[in-house]
A and B are shown apart, each in its own frame.
Chain A
Amino acid sequence: MELHSADSLEEALDRLQETGGETQVLAGGTDVMIQNMRHEISPSALLYIGRLDDLRGIAHNGTVDIGPLSTHRMLATDHIVRRVLPALAEAAGSVGGWQTQEVGTVGGNLCNASPAADTAPPLLVAGTRVRLSSQSGVRELPLDEFLLDRRRTARRADELLTGIAAEPCAPGTAEAYLKLGRRSAMEVAIAGVAVRLTLDENDTAVEARVAACSVAPRPFRARATEALLQGSPLDPDSVAEAGLMLVREASPIDDGRASAAYRRRVLPDLLARTIEVCRSRLADRREE
């Protein structure tokens, strides 16, 4: 296996154009290095992109523009992200430990396309669009259309993920990400739910966005669940009904962390709790 290090985006795209099919892009390495050691992947070359500093950093330009090389630690501690994308900050801060958060990147988390990718549900409820660059040009697509299946994305072999643009939480909108694990640190999610909620003055849900991970082959927006919550007073019955819909939209499996039945069992409560966190955040803000 060869190892190449790109000094510029152009170089990286040239390389991917020529050898993208056999090349594994390498950033922080927290997934790729392990998959390589376990022989889950066997690329003929690694392309290290960690020196492409233009792809690292967080800027607020109407959307929150997140460079794909931004680390989980950057997302968890960045003051813009903590204020306008708090669910993303929470999710990033829940990935592994300090050591993995310092090197693991958000772009890597999305491109690795694990069903349990923690940053995906918050980015999905933030209406995130991703930018893919290649020698033949640039295209943008919603994150929901980028994450296709377990370990499969819409990225072509000649493309590099070069931008992540998320809609910030508007005033009157709150969001949260809750992750269920056996312990509170160093866990891959048994299930994760992100909610972004907008209430009117009567506490009716004007808009509710819901996304989940670790309960389907890919993290997904739960559109039917959202439709049930929209216009709802969020009383216990309607939240419970939405929870059952979320179970129907999910397709969990048995794995080493939990059974499918357990995941179906906890999902409605996880949704209800996440909604509750959003509501209490909105209430806190009104008191301020």
Chain B
Amino acid sequence: MSLVTEVTFSANGREVTVPASAEATLLQVLRLELGLTGTKEGCAEGECGACTVLVDGKPVNSCIMPALAAAGTDVRTVEGLAGPDGLLSPLQQAFVDGFAIQCGFCTPGFLMTLTALVEEDPHPDPAQIKQALSGNLCRCTGYTTIVDAVLAATGNGGRS
């Protein structure tokens, strides 16, 4: 049994140890302790997906994830998507090319969920994309361009 006051995990490949109170969420730790402000707080109750990050490759809502649950895991945020040379990931580039961004607030969350999807299935079809995105809300309602961008980046679901 251990009384937890700090947590150690990998943030975009860099091992970090940060203080964590009982109430601390992974989102708070990422933004306030590590300055990784690419991850956004939307609803703050696990409904909108703006705060989505990958924990061991799986998308989670960091706004309701206890920080200590990230201990020992590999956490990836939108800052970790581009290559070391600054080159955008294919999904990021497709978002830019396809105007799949309006206000941009939801974009990091969408990109993280979609990164997990594409790592699970490199050629998702539109139905899979929509299903995967059911926990990501875009209030500019730019869903069509987002789905199109994923299809452009992944070869149109291996179909048309």
**Separation in Å of the B157 CB from the closest CB of chain A?**
18
Residues of B within 8 A of A14 (CB): 1
Bound CA span A46–B64, Å: 14
Chain B CB within 8 A of A262 CB: no
Residues of B within 8 A of A185 (CB): 134-135
Bound CA span A77–B45, Å: 25
Given contacts A99-B46, A99-B135, contact A36 B23 (CB under 8 A): yes
**Separation in Å of the B13 CB from the closest CB of chain A?**
21
- B46 touches which one: A34, A45, A46 (CB < 8 A)? A34
B64-A33 in contact (CB<8A): yes
A100-B135 in contact (CB<8A): yes
Chain A CB within 8 A of B77 CB: no
- A2 touches which one: B22, B46, B52 (CB < 8 A)? B22
Chain A CB within 8 A of B47 CB: yes
Residues of A within 8 A of B60 (CB): 99, 102-103
- Interface residues as binary, B67-82 with A (CB distance below 8 Å gives 1, 0 otherwise): 0110100000000000
- Interface residues as binary, A1-40 with B (CB distance below 8 Å gives 1, 0 otherwise): 1111111000100110000000000101110011011000
Residue of A96, A99, A185, A186 with most chain B CB atoms under a 10 A cut-off: A99
Given contacts A6-B1, A33-B66, A185-B135, contact A98 B22 (CB under 8 A): no
Bound CA span A5–B4, Å: 7
- B2 touches which one: A4, A28, A30 (CB < 8 A)? A4
Chain A CB within 8 A of B124 CB: no
Residues of B within 8 A of A73 (CB): 58
Residues of A within 8 A of B36 (CB): none
User: Which chain B residues (55-112) contact chain A, with CB distance < 8 Å?
Assistant: 55, 58-61, 64-66, 68-69, 71
- A48 touches which one: B4, B52, B132 (CB < 8 A)? B4
Bound CA span A3–B69, Å: 11
Bound CA span A29–B47, Å: 14
Bound CA span A96–B71, Å: 24
B68-A5 in contact (CB<8A): yes
Chain B CB within 8 A of A97 CB: yes
Residues of A within 8 A of B21 (CB): 1, 3
Chain B CB within 8 A of A50 CB: yes
B59-A98 in contact (CB<8A): yes
B22-A3 in contact (CB<8A): yes
**Separation in Å of the B89 CB from the closest CB of chain A?**
19
B46-A37 in contact (CB<8A): no
Task: Determine the residue in chain B with the shortest Cβ distance to A101.
Answer: B135
Task: Determine the residue in chain A with the shortest Cβ distance to B5.
Answer: A3
Given contacts A185-B134, A185-B135, contact A99 B52 (CB under 8 A): yes
- B45 touches which one: A5, A34, A46 (CB < 8 A)? A34
Bound CA span A30–B60, Å: 10
A186-B4 in contact (CB<8A): no
B23-A7 in contact (CB<8A): no
Task: Determine the residue in chain B with the shortest Cβ distance to A96.
Answer: B135
**Separation in Å of the A256 CB from the closest CB of chain B?**
13
User: Which chain B residues (15-37) contact chain A, with CB distance < 8 Å?
Assistant: 20-23, 25
**Separation in Å of the B112 CB from the closest CB of chain A?**
9
**Separation in Å of the A159 CB from the closest CB of chain B?**
17
Residues of B within 8 A of A46 (CB): 22, 66
Besides A2-B22, A100-B46, 13 new A-B residue pairs in contact (Cβ under 8 A), listed by A number: A7-B2, A11-B1, A30-B61, A33-B65, A34-B45, A36-B23, A46-B66, A48-B4, A50-B69, A96-B46, A97-B49, A103-B65, A186-B135
**Which 5 residue pairs spanning A and B have beta carbons closest together?**
A97-B135, A185-B134, A3-B22, A1-B22, A33-B64
